[in-house]
Chains A and B, each alone.
Chain A
Amino acid sequence: MPLPPVLRLVVRNFRASIDPITLLVMFGQPAFLIVILGTMFNQLIPSVGSSGSYIAFLVPGMIASQMITGAVLAGRTFWLDRRWSMVEQIFSGPFRRSEYLAALLLTTLLFALVGVGLLSLIALPLIGLPGLSPGELLVILGTIALGATFFGGLLIAIGSRIRSANLYFTIQSLLQYFLIFISTVYYPVSANTPLALRVVVYANPLTYAANTVRAAFTHSFGPSDLIAGVVLGALAIVAFFLAVASFRRLSFGPVQ
């Protein structure tokens, strides 16, 4: 009994498009940042809000940022499929566009969860077990899922409209860099933060995801986290439909 088409495509995405070096860089970089950046800044920053140490502040943020890593890997898979005409080959097989798109989004989510798992393995010995309740664990996973759908959908929508690999990967790198740095992944935002920067940081969905995951780690959920979850959910739905619309108009043929 063969697996359903979407799952077959997910397996294929994992096996065919991602090489070990890419995985090592994509997942190794955040782990490296936690160990090095966390340890170094821990010496300079005595405590950050309710998180306590800087490294305890950094880890939930980095875990939240895995939704972008997952999206980047799925976007890369999609673009490489376009570049090597695999999209056409897949559609000439027993797959529909909707199945391919669903598989890409599921791949984004699974990549993100793999990233969360790996980071947890590396980071938890440094900060200790946060003692999450099942509800808090569910909130973290839900936030990662919504964020992965949002960023995955966004990158697929962009990737569908662009016909140049250079342009796509430049936009993807810029977006990844911009979203992670102008968020609360690495540093908190307070009343002392310049207003313009605060506006940009709070316009970034990753900020909400990082704050929600952090709140779960510090057992300090509040109404603002619920609102953040709703906003992230709404953005995920918008990005999903954006991806569907772009994907419907996806033009085949050679890309640069």
Chain B
Amino acid sequence: MSVEENLRLYAFLWGIPREVAKARTEEMLELFELGEKRRMRPWGLSGGERRRFQVARELMHDMELLFLDEPTVGLDALTRTRILDYLAARARQGLTIVFTTHILHEADRLCQRIGVMSDGHLVTVGSPEEIKRAYRGARNVEAEFGRPLTREEAASLRELLAREGEEFALVEAHDDLVIFRARNAEALVADVAIWSRDHALEIERIAVEEATLEDAFVRLVSEPRPVFLPSSEVD
């Protein structure tokens, strides 16, 4: 059976009316860029196409809960984005999607609640923001001043950051630019602002690197024991 016939048969199995199945087949073929392959047998498809075909087939019928196991593995960035956008749209329409992935930025982008598994155990559940906030590691802060710092000013700033910073490390410091890493990056930004006012120094730009789920995940799974977010409930 061809790709198109497979999609139609799947809809038939789910009792989808013929006209709805026809329209949805066209929608899926277009969404998953399988239009040109509609007459091909599934085993003649490439790995990525087969993956797209499998996901398309699952979406042929209406459902309340959808389990997807790494649906974007082996797909190019463009197709991945299309599929994730489509899934996000379906989720907004009320479809609950349980989505397993090793690609954490996908989970960050798509999921409202994330459960992190490590060694077969659920180690945390929470929104991406909750998890990133709770388990974020040291992040870069880049501060650019209105003029180059004097030797004394540079020493004073370094001393402040070393004293107040958690997991502090100076990455780069020359002329008017200081880049450092710290876990309590936001708190140190406030300290730097006060320090610069006291030293009559204007801050041109100060930016904190965004926490990523990947960093949080690495910290989380390297914890010796399971940790649960206090704000999360495991249903």
Binding site for A on B (CB under 8 A): 1, 5, 9, 12-17
Contacts and interface: CB of A to CB of B under 8 A. Distances in A.
Interface in A1-52: 2-3, 8-9, 11-12, 15-16
A12 B14 contact: no
B185 to A, nearest CB: 45
Contacts, number: 23
B63 to A, nearest CB: 10
Contacts of B17: 2
A135 interface: no
A93 B12 CA distance: 12
Interface of A: 2-3, 8-9, 11-12, 15-16, 90, 93-94
B9 A12 contact: yes
A15 B13 contact: no
Given A2-B16, A2-B17, 5 more contacts: A8-B12, A15-B1, A16-B9, A94-B13, A94-B15
Interface residues of chain B: helix, strand, loop or mixed (majority): loop
16 contacts: A2-B15, A2-B16, A2-B17, A3-B15, A8-B12, A8-B13, A11-B12, A12-B9, A12-B12, A12-B13, A15-B1, A15-B5, A16-B9, A90-B13, A93-B14, A94-B14
Contacts of B16: 2
Most buried by A among B12, B13, B14: B13
B1 A9 contact: no
B67 to A, nearest CB: 8
Nearest to B17: A2
A19 to B, nearest CB: 9
Contacts of B5: 15
